[in-house]
Chain A
């Protein structure tokens, strides 16, 4: 009887998590470790490197302000995008939560519908909206409001617009899940004690939904700062982000050791922000948000 496993037996727990653990080790930890080793390899010429260990790549990253500038710019664009997502995403989430519409699932479905279309195609669609021959410019010219097309495409604004389009559903879902977990009797209690609707929102709903908002902010920030496709398609060269820098170093310069170094840098920086959040906010909010 001693050998029989109990429900909370640690051995059973290890066996249950073993497959996921192995997957994580082989497909996440090990590749990152290989990449970390690669950062010390020596670049010979395009497409050729040797395993002779060197700190040259790290030295170049640490001493070259070009990389630092891009890193700061990437963090700035990521932060701007996350903040805009927060501002623009909170209200739809609040509306979905507060509505008495009996088919609320339909509203949530509308949020998920964009994910049925390829992300690249969704991004490309902005070219037909913001371009010189795009819907906005053509409409404004035909209405006589402008005589020359507005330069909207291939700008930082276009990149942020594309990122917003991509990330807004994540923010709305996060905030919505947070709102859903609020006990509505608290709001009724606040109203019964003399709060106006606005005061009840400010004193009860908003503070209790902040964890969801913060989770959305972090998620949007990390995804925006790590993005590559959106700046590539909607931005000019100047609007490139750190991800584009990594892409060009690996794919254009064929310099894998330096590309690996930059990848590890981005991984560490974004990991740092995620760690800070976990320390102060807890990852459970993100998990809840992603789970719907």
Chain B
């Protein structure tokens, strides 16, 4: 569905009626719209034509396949608005691209929660969403929205899914009992030297080192011991993977037998019949993902797409496809049995069982720790 001028004016009126706009602003915008309609030339209508496509950048692989199949394709069929897609393996990669592009070149990013949300805000890349245009946000878990709102009262992103980075292991080599007993310690078990993997990401490495040293990942007291543990894992590791596809490749080909891993990717491997087990040790790293709208994007169309994606039927289909629980509140929306069985699923809707990274704490240390991690990863 293309947004017509009439619909835009109706929305403007709704915002005024809801108290989102002052009377003066409403009258000014209406007058400007009337003037532009009256003064417009034939070529201007083409230049100002309704948006025909929206740009989306995500993590690729099974996750994006599911979003494409269950959200974008039906959305395009319904509205004729095409969703042009790009992928990235590491979110910093897309931030770099956005930095070099002009506003509007990149529009919606499947972003990694509040840790990255801060980066977009610091770089001035964030937009302001009109939540009235996304009525399906009413079904989104409030504990997932709150951390974003703490950073920007006017949101730029809407939480979409969540998961954990737990421990994945090859069940032909490591028994579930052994995995349960050793938990995060498996990543430091010398028995598996040369067969250990891990995500090449500072937060994940520091998080699991904190668990291994008995520290609270959101309040690390002794960072030096953390780096010692990070080095220990590095020395045991065969490869630190940098994308979900690489993780799946390493595990399925038996190159590594234990690694920290994204719950959804492990679920996908299990669906494919690979002998891979998964467990979330105590304090396992939980994360959420959101649909972030960037500055310069066609807001109405992007909001409309996100609203479509949050429609329970769409969101559930995507969640089942990508194997990550949706951000829908299970106390408000009836979710399927398959979703309820997904790793990390929180049936209470309170999210209290999951440990998320404190965005402000991690943002404070991000620069120094990332630099140190990059060095350790290269043998320092």
Q: Which residues of A contact B (CB under 8 A)?
A: 45-48, 66, 70, 131-133, 151, 153-154, 236-238, 240, 244-245, 248-255
Contacts and interface: CB of A to CB of B under 8 A. Distances in A.
Contact of A154 (B119, B239, B375): B239
Given A66-B375, A154-B238, A253 B253 contact: no
Interface in B331-380: 366-367, 370-371, 374-375, 377-380
Contacts of B371: 253, 255
Given A47-B99, A132-B254, A252 B239 contact: no
Interface residues of B, number: 29
A251 B93 contact: yes
**Nearest 9 CB-CB pairings of A with B:** A238-B379, A237-B377, A47-B123, A133-B253, A240-B378, A248-B374, A237-B378, A253-B370, A154-B239
A244 to B, nearest CB: 8
A132 B96 contact: no
B234 interface: yes
A252 B370 contact: yes
Contacts of B370: 46, 252-253
Contacts of A133: 253-255
A166 to B, nearest CB: 21
Interface of B: 90, 92-93, 95-96, 99, 119, 122-123, 194, 200, 234, 237-240, 253-255, 366-367, 370-371, 374-375, 377-380
Contact of B122 (A47, A131, A251): A47
Contacts of B367: 45-46, 253, 255
B250 to A, nearest CB: 9
Nearest to A254: B92
Contacts of A252: 90, 92, 370, 374
B277 to A, nearest CB: 20
Nearest to A124: B249
A131 B119 contact: no
A254 B378 contact: no
Given A251-B93, A254-B119, A153 B380 contact: no
B90 A45 contact: no
Given A236-B240, A252-B90, 18 more contacts: A45-B122, A46-B92, A46-B119, A47-B99, A47-B119, A47-B122, A47-B123, A48-B122, A66-B380, A133-B255, A153-B255, A237-B200, A240-B378, A250-B96, A251-B90, A251-B93, A252-B374, A253-B374
Nearest to A240: B378
Contacts of B96: 47, 250-251, 254
B91 to A, nearest CB: 10
A74 to B, nearest CB: 12
A237 B379 contact: yes
B363 to A, nearest CB: 8
Contacts of A154: 238-239
Nearest to B125: A47
Contacts of A244: 378
B253 A132 contact: yes
A21 to B, nearest CB: 26
A237 B377 CA distance: 5
A195 to B, nearest CB: 51
Query: Which residue of A133, A254, A255 has the most chain B CB atoms within 10 A of its CB atom?
Result: A254
